[in-house]
Structures are given as structure tokens and as C-alpha cells.
Amino acid sequence: MDFISITNKEHVDTLPRDWDVLLVTPIVNPNTPNFISKNDNKGKYRWIDAFHPAMGIRFIAENYEGVRILEYPTMDKFENELKKGVDVVGISFLTIQMYDVEHMIDLIRKYDVKEIWGGGWGIETPGAKELFDRTFTGHGEQAVFPLLKDRWQGHKHPKLLGDAHMVKLSAKLGYLSSIRGCKYKCEYCPSPAMVPEMLSTPISEIKKLLDYYLEKKVSAIIIYDETFLQDKQYSERIVEMLNERGLLWFCLTSSTELKGQVSKLRDKGFLGCLMGIESLRDKTLLHHKRGGRLTSLNMDVIKEMKDNNCYLIGTYIFCHELDTEKSMREDIEKLASMDIPAVMPTILTPYPGTPPFERYADRIIDWDWTHWDDGHLVWRHNSITPEVGKQVLSDCYDQCNSLSYNMKFVFKEAIHNVIPFKIKRKFFGKKPAVHTNPSISNSFFTNLKEEDIYTNSISDEQKYLKDLANRMNSNKT
Ligand code: SF4
């Protein structure tokens, strides 16, 4: 994979050291149709809201000197920054933000900016690459390394604090991204299509980060990995560090990783997770190459989560090739009967850069990029119209989500899990271990050797740079 492609600029080995780089993630336009706000017309989820850090640009700015960020600025704020003068502006965006990006680039061209960079999942959107001087594919700080290598500051994790609001209460959260990338290769997902490689944060860096969050008294850690626990040994080490510090945590993960593990994780501060269910038909799951995570496994884990009072947000995709309106209505009935605390319905969207985009190319019926938000049927389905697709989504949202059930669940989880965990850690917990060597684990892994952790799971700076150099060389050949 090429990390950088150059459209309008001559290649330079390294960006001049005194060039100021500003990285931006566009604001989510309130006028852009968004399937949650559109479907949440009864305001069922207005009571809960959480901050989403712009991970990609945050990691780059943390790892290179002379790089600053603007996270979700308004156009006015963005223009004010341009007025102050900047040499390079980089935009990380999604397909849905394509028109906002065009607008931003028109604005940038009015100022004396030397280069405009583009990256993020939106970069494969037809017509996107031509808008930029350089485009980047891959994990942010790896992708820009050839240009910014003399500014490299080490493989660091940004400190990410944000607020979550629940009814009238607010809580401070700390965010962690331990592994970026996903070992599964679901064919509709932009993540493996755009960035097939995985990149892990050194354990020493995670330890520092968790100590910082502990000091800041966060209420919980949100683990932002696409699939937390996908590397068992490495993730268990992190779980142990969270447990040692008495930190509660929520993650994104999948049924394979959770099966048979929920009670063990619950005792180590696991609050719950977002997990893909995606279909109740094995034929559809196999068709999408979801790596053996079939219906019976998903059902087992949904039950395991419920039995352990752990919160679950289950994502579900409608309008698969084999779906009909009748089958989708049956799915809603089944989902509603499962007592899943929150179901997040979506519509199958063949995102640019993924295999379905190529396959459905001649069936695209809606090229309005603001509709590429998982909430619109943008391709011609054999038996489902876009209107029916949207109605089904809305009905699923209504029938499978209930504020009162959520409140009851949260209360039950607090009584059974959160309070006992906090009491146990306060009165019987051990202090976080002091590791002289960051890659040495302590008691949790009885038969794991230090070399195993190092070679199988953890990229430290040296390994990371060596790996990067190898990839660069192989790209040249
Ligand atoms: S498990 Fe999730 S993140 Fe991983 S490829 Fe599948 S959809 Fe994408």
C-alpha cells in the first residue's frame, strides 16, 4: 500500500522544518441528514450524549512537533485560523462530509497556504483525491512519517478527556486507542479496506495514559479500538492495568472476543460494549465475510451480557441483498424480544474504497454524498425501496429502544457491578504495579514470557520505525 499519493505537488523528501501544519476534522454539519437524529424523532436518545475525539489527527499532532489541530471547527473559526497564516492544511474526513470539504478547500485557496493534504475514510470518495495536493492512506502518524520524520517525537498516545451527558448528569471520560485497525475483514467496512495493517500502542505509553486518567478522576475509560480484545495477550495486559487502577471501562468489540469472558471482564471493571450483530441470518453474515461470527455465537453473547448485567449497544444492518420487507419486520420483532439495552440500526452502504462499492457501481441510485450516512438506501435493491428502508430503520429504532428499560438496566448494573467493583478496589485493591521494564507483565499472565509480549503484541518505537522502513522499501519495489 502507498501511504502518500501526490497529485499537484512535486515530491519532497522532508517538509521544511519551519512549515506550520494545521490538521482539521470538519464539524458534523447540523444540516446534514444524520440517521440517528433523523430517526430519533421521539427524542429517545437525547438524554445521552458523549464526546467523540478526532483520533486520527490527534495521534499525528501528538507525535510530531509543529503540528496543530482544529477539531470540529465552525467555518468561522476555521477561517480565523487561516487568516493567522499557515503553511499546510490537512483535512481528515468521511464521505458524508465531501461537500463541506469542497467548501473548506475553496476557502483555503483564498489564503496563502502552500499545500493542502487530505486523508481519512472519505479520501476514496470519487473526485476527492483531485481536490488535494497530497493524499494519505494508512494510520495517520505512519502515513505522514516520510514528510515529517525529522519532527518525530516517539510513539505517543494523546491525552483525550471528554464529557458524557446522561439526563442532567455529566461525567468525565478518558479515551484509549490501544490497537488501531481490525483483524476481521468484513467486506462492507471501510476500516480493513482502507487500512489493513494494525498498529498497537506501546504498553508503557498506555500505562502513563491510564495513570493520567486516574489522576484526573475520570468516571470511565472508553476503549476506542475497532475490536478491543482482538489480541488476547496484549489486551489482557491492558485489562489488568485498568483493574489495578480501579478504572471502569466500555469498549467496542465482537462476540468472538467476549464469548465465555463476560463475567471475568465484569469483575475487572467492564461496563459494557458496542458489538455488531448485523444480521440474524448466517447466509448473510457469511456473504459479508464476517470471520465466523455467526448468529448462534452472537445470541450466546447477548445472553451472557444480560446475565452479567453488562450494557450492550448492538448494531444491526438492514437492506442486505437477501432481505425483504417481511424478513426485516421479522428481524425487528426478534431484536425487540431480546432485551438488548440499545439497538443501533443502519442500512447497508457500499462505501467508496470497499469491495461492495465496486460491485454495486452500476446500481447506485443516490449520489448525494450527504446521504452516505448508514441511514439511506443509496443503491438499487431488488425488492426494497429507499422509502421502505428508512421506515424499517425508524420502526426498529422505536420498537427496540426504550428509555425506561435503559434506565432500569443502568440502575441494575450500578447495583450489581459498579458499586461492588468500586468498593472492592477501594478496600481490597492492590496498587498499580511499578514496572521497571514497560513490557514486563505481572501476575495476571502466569505463563507469558516478556519476549512473547514484545514480539507478538507490542510495537515500541524501534520496532515501529523498522516496520515502517520495511514497508516503505517494499512499496518502492
Ligand atoms: S469487526 Fe467491525 S471494525 Fe472489524 S472489519 Fe468488521 S465491521 Fe469493521
Pocket test for ligand 1, best of 179, 184, 287, 316 (most atoms within 8 A of CB): 184
What is the band of 83 on the pLDDT scale with cuts at 50, 70, 90?
A: very high
Domain boundaries, the chain: 4-156, 161-428
Alpha-carbon torsion angle 108, 110, 113, 117, nearest 10? 30
**Least confident window among 237-241, 445-449, 472-476:** 445-449
Confirm if 9 and 132 have CB atoms less than 8 A apart.
no
Cα of 372 vs centre of ligand 1, distance in Å, is: 18
Burial class of residue 361, CB neighbours in 10 A (0-12, 13-18, 19+) = exposed
In whole angstroms, give the CA distance from residue 52 to residue 260. Answer: 30
- pLDDT digits over 348-358, tens only? 999 999 999 99
Closest CA to 462 of 170, 202, 150, 194: 202
Confirm if 90 and 22 have CB atoms less than 8 A apart.
yes
Going by alpha carbons, the residue nearest to atom 8 of ligand 1 is: 189
Q: What is the DSSP letter of 433?
A: P
**Least confident window among 95-104, 354-363, 432-441, 460-469:** 432-441
Q: Is 120 in the pocket of ligand 1 (CB under 6 A)?
A: no
- pLDDT digits over 355-382, tens only? 999 999 999 999 999 999 899 999 999 9
Burial class of residue 183, CB neighbours in 10 A (0-12, 13-18, 19+) = middle
Closest CA to 221 of 209, 231, 232, 204: 209
The three grid cell numbers given for residue 470, joined into one nine-digit string: 520495511
Atom of ligand 1 nearest to the CA of 290: 6
- pLDDT digits over 131-152, tens only? 999 999 989 898 999 999 999 9
Strand runs (DSSP E) across 335-378, as ranges? Answer: 342-347
Closest CA to 244 of 430, 14, 439, 441: 430
Pocket test for ligand 1, best of 227, 231, 315 (most atoms within 8 A of CB): 227
Q: Is 218 in the pocket of ligand 1 (CB under 6 A)?
A: no
In whole angstroms, give the CA distance from residue 314 to residue 240. Answer: 26
Name, in order, each residue with C-beta under 8 angstroms of 361's C-beta and a sequence gap of 6 or more.
Answer: none
Q: Is 254 in the pocket of ligand 1 (CB under 6 A)?
A: yes
Q: Is 186 in the pocket of ligand 1 (CB under 6 A)?
A: yes
CB atoms within 10 A of CB 1: 12
Confirm if 230 and 257 have CB atoms less than 8 A apart.
yes
CATH of domain 161-428: 3.20.20.70
CATH of domain 4-156: 3.40.50.280
Sign of CA dihedral 25, 31, 32, 38: positive
Cα of 74 vs centre of ligand 1, distance in Å, is: 31
The answer, as to whether pTM is greater than 0.95, is: no
Cα of 191 vs centre of ligand 1, distance in Å, is: 7
